């Protein structure tokens, strides 16, 4: 399936990253040399996306616009001049499903990727391409096996038959079920390929977990109709939605970086060599 548009829900408040996100939107938190949302846009561009619909909370669109347009931050990124960015405001925080539904008019009946900014992908690892290849005209959600303690924090899939290596039928889904109610250990990790059918499903779901319109409930509806597949990724995304995951993402993407990676690796090797190596001069004790 060819996909040329992506929706990026960027209206989240980033509560797990406070106090940093009290003054900086979660989407603009820096990871190495660029903000979270730029990593996501670049991932979409590598998969052939030409138009991004960014759903933001009130007031945030000006900050994001200044990054992408006003400051010309991506002038050096090959192909960016051909990319279209559209901003859609989610006036009230009514849930991820509601945020995606706000993009319905701009998407205008086309298949689209939905890319959550909580998870980043190291360049060269093509989750979106695999999902597009797996689609037979149905929606596809990216899945990963979760540890038991994570079942309280992610949407979890109910899966059916295996259709191909890494591709399964999706029969249902539950938002943050916990280990006792989880239908499987396969969770949603923030990468989706949707057909326009998802908007009908979203319009038909009532507020669910937390009193919000949940994207997971719309996926469950598509699954019950036989209109959704799961693609099981062979590695985790980098979770920048919590402090520990954020540090891991900085390390992984720092090591990957074509300019800074080698120097960063040498620094990490020096730190790993012992408790005193890599210590800043100001931290050294006097003899």
Cis previous bond, 61, omega within 30 = no
* Whole-number pLDDT of residue 206: 85
Q: Whose structure tokens read 């670049």?
A: 42
* Whole-number pLDDT of residue 186: 94
Q: What pairs with residue 88 in β-bridges? A: 55
269: Cα within 13 Å, side-chain hemisphere? 7
Top-level CATH class of 5-236? alpha beta
Q: How far apart are CA 188 and CA 240, in angstroms?
A: 15
The encoded tokens of residue 268 equal 């990490």
* Whole-number pLDDT of residue 247: 92
Global confidence as pTM: 0.87
Q: How far apart are CA 46 and CA 44, in angstroms?
A: 5
* Whole-number pLDDT of residue 74: 52
Q: 123: Cβ–Cβ under 8 A, 6 or more apart, which residues? A: 42, 43, 46, 256
- CA max distance for the chain: 72
Q: pLDDT tens per residue, the chain (287 residues)? A: 899 999 999 877 667 777 767 777 888 888 998 899 999 999 999 999 999 999 998 878 778 877 777 544 455 566 666 788 899 999 888 899 999 999 999 999 999 999 998 889 999 889 999 999 999 999 999 999 999 988 998 899 999 999 999 999 999 999 999 988 999 999 999 999 999 999 999 999 988 887 889 999 999 999 999 999 999 998 888 988 888 989 999 999 999 999 998 998 999 998 887 555 444 444 444 43
Which of 95, 133, 41, 123 is closest to 212 using CA atoms? 95
* Whole-number pLDDT of residue 6: 98
To which H or E segment does residue 39 belong? helix 36-46
Q: Helices marked H in the chain — which ranges?
A: 36-46, 60-65, 96-101, 104-107, 127-134, 197-204, 215-224, 243-256, 261-272
User: Taking a C-beta distance cutoff of 8 angstroms, is the pair 143, 189 a contact?
Assistant: yes
To which H or E segment does residue 283 belong? none
Phi-psi label, residue 27: left if phi above 0, alpha if psi -120 to 50, beta otherwise: alpha
Q: How far apart are CA 52 and CA 10, in angstroms?
A: 12
What is the sign, positive or negative, of the torsion defined by CA atoms of 22, 24, 28, 29? negative
């Amino acid at each position: 399936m060819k996909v040329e548009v992506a929706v990026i829900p960027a209206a989240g408040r980033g509560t797990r990253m406070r106090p940093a996100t009290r003054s900086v939107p979660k989407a603009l938190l820096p990871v190495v040399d660029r903000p979270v949302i730029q990593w996501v846009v670049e991932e979409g561009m590598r998969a052939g996306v030409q138009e991004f619909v960014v759903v933001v909370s009130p007031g945030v669109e000006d900050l994001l616009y200044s990054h992408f347009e006003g400051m010309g931050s991506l002038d050096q990124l090959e192909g960016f001049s051909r990319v279209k960015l559209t901003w859609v405001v989610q006036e009230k925080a009514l849930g991820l499903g509601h945020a995606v539904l706000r993009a319905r008019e701009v998407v205008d009946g086309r298949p689209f990727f939905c890319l959550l900014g909580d998870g980043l992908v190291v360049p060269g690892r093509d989750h979106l391409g695999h999902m597009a290849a797996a689609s037979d005209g149905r929606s596809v959600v990216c899945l990963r096996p979760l540890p038991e303690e994570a079942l309280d924090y992610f949407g979890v899939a109910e899966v059916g038959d295996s259709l191909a290596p890494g591709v399964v039928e999706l029969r249902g889904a539950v938002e943050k079920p916990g280990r006792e109610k989880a239908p499987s250990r396969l969770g949603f990790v923030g990468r989706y390929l949707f057909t326009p059918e998802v908007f009908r499903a979203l319009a038909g779901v009532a507020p669910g977990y937390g009193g919000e319109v949940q994207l997971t409930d719309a996926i469950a509806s598509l699954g019950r109709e036989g209109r959704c597949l799961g693609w099981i990724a062979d590695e985790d995304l980098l979770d920048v939605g919590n402090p520990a995951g954020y540090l891991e993402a900085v390390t992984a993407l720092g090591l990957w970086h074509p300019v800074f990676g080698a120097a960063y690796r040498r620094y990490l090797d020096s730190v790993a060599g012992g408790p005193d190596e890599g210590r800043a001069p100001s931290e050294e004790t006097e003899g």
